[in-house]
Structure 1
Amino acid sequence: MTQGTGWTARPATARTGRLSADDWARAGLDLLMTEGRSAVKISRLCAHFGVTKGSFYWHFDDFDALMAAIARLYFSQEMDSARGLVTMEEMPPDQRLETMSAMLVESRAWEGEAAIREWARADETVAEAVGELDRRILRVVHDAFAELGFSEREARIRSGVLVYAGIGFVYGRSALPVPSVEEIHDVLALLLRRDD
């Protein structure tokens, strides 16, 4: 994927025949993630694939059906694996927190995350899915703090700080300075400190 007008998403499978609905959804998701919801257009996807609109309508009744397929893909278990959630759940708790904290300063998917959250403001189904994803992430972080011996209240507060910070980065990173990896490590060290 590239940003801006140089978008070059390709079908997930080699072009040996007819496009699948999954190919359309993946290309649409690539566009959504790199350029935002307004960039996802049937005509643009058709031009990208070198096909007519008939090919699109073979798989989808309309644009809304494509967007629903894109949402299903974005919130799928496959994407959980791509986000690293599945792997993180298997990590020791301190490594899990370190990995999730470092993700706060990675810029790879922030534009896409912002696009999905903007879409969620206008689509109740997407909003519910965003909420479910946020709760899954919160649970992974909460469980790490709990496994490290923090009380339920302490784990809830600490996990909330990290998750809300991540959501805040989505919206604030274009106007505010992005913390360094070292600063994120310092924040995590603060959250891991005990008041014994």
Structure 2
Amino acid sequence: MSVLDWLDFGLETLAEGGPDSLTIDGLCLRAGKTKGSFYAHFQSHDEFIIALAVHWRKRYTENVIERVEAEAEPQQRMEHLNRIVIHLDPRIGHGMRRLAEKNQEVEQMVAEIDQIRISYLADLHFASGNFTPEDARDLAIIENAAFIGLTATGYGKNAAEMERLYSTFMRLLAPRSTQETTPPDLGRELQ
């Protein structure tokens, strides 16, 4: 197995068994490989875990953004992003977040990845011309949290449901008249 094979295998193992399944013995047994094969690529378990997080960042964030940037218009980029994201295995992201609870370096990487995703979404929303920079950033934070939460709570576990939910989300974001989009005075309603 190459380094890339081990890392892809690690993501698959993480998705199926969570962070506790990532022991060297468990990985080697599951892969049908010797520890020597593992140690030919990684000096330690910690090095493997960090490499795994870097690999996740590359495949599930950087490569996705790179593919989306091929589109010309912000709306097309947003639609392309949504089409890609709904087909990603959410168990990997959740596994990585659980791994972050056990490893401070992974925790920092996950936080950085969230910021990259939020910044990218904010740029897309702002580029649409429908949002101020502040609103675009707030919307991006909400959207990122919603994506994580949807799959964590059991919604959006299959592509068809996720696609339906994203379609609804995008429809609700469509510009409306000022009267329809002006929020109620919540302070007055609470009195």
| TM-score of the alignment, normalized to the shorter chain, above 0.5 | yes
Matches within 5 A, 1:69-148: 69-76=51-58, 78-80=59-61, 82=63, 84-91=64-71, 92-102=73-83, 106=86, 108-148=88-128
Q: Which residue of 2 aligns with 1:42?
A: 24
So what's the TM-score if we normalise by structure 1?
0.73
> Residue 187 of structure 1 aligns to which amino acid in structure 2?
F
Preserved CA contact (<8 Å) 1:32 1:39? yes
Instruction: Name the SS for the 2:43 alignment partner.
Output: coil
What CA RMSD, in Å, does the superposition of the two structures yield over aligned residues?
2.9
CA distance 1:159–1:21, change in 2 (3 Å): closer
Q: Which residue of 1 aligns with 2:187?
A: none
Instruction: Name the SS for the 1:90 alignment partner.
Output: coil
So what's the TM-score if we normalise by structure 2?
0.75
Asked if 1:154 is matched to 2:135, the reply is: yes
CA distance 1:157–1:194, change in 2 (3 Å): farther
CA distance 1:186–1:50, change in 2 (3 Å): closer
CA distance 1:34–1:81, change in 2 (3 Å): farther
Asked if 1:163 is matched to 2:126, the reply is: no
Cα deviation per residue 1:106-159 (whole Å; 9 max; x = unaligned)? 364111111001111121111111111111111221111111112112212322
Q: Which residue of 1 aligns with 2:37?
A: 55
Preserved CA contact (<8 Å) 1:46 1:52? yes
> Residue 34 of structure 2 aligns to which amino acid in structure 1?
T
Preserved CA contact (<8 Å) 1:89 1:140? no
> Residue 52 of structure 1 aligns to which amino acid in structure 2?
T
> Residue 110 of structure 2 aligns to which amino acid in structure 1?
V
Preserved CA contact (<8 Å) 2:18 2:95? yes
> Residue 174 of structure 2 aligns to which amino acid in structure 1?
L
Aligned length: 175
CA distance 1:153–1:69, change in 2 (3 Å): closer
Q: CA deviation at 1:43?
A: 2.4
> Residue 173 of structure 1 aligns to which amino acid in structure 2?
G
Q: Which residue of 1 aligns with 2:164?
A: 182
Instruction: Name the SS for the 1:75 alignment partner.
Output: helix
Q: Which residue of 2 aligns with 1:17?
A: none
CA distance 1:128–1:179, change in 2 (3 Å): same
Q: CA deviation at 1:59?
A: 3.4
Preserved CA contact (<8 Å) 2:150 2:156? no
CA distance in 1, matches of 2:162, 2:42: 44
CA distance 1:40–1:174, change in 2 (3 Å): farther
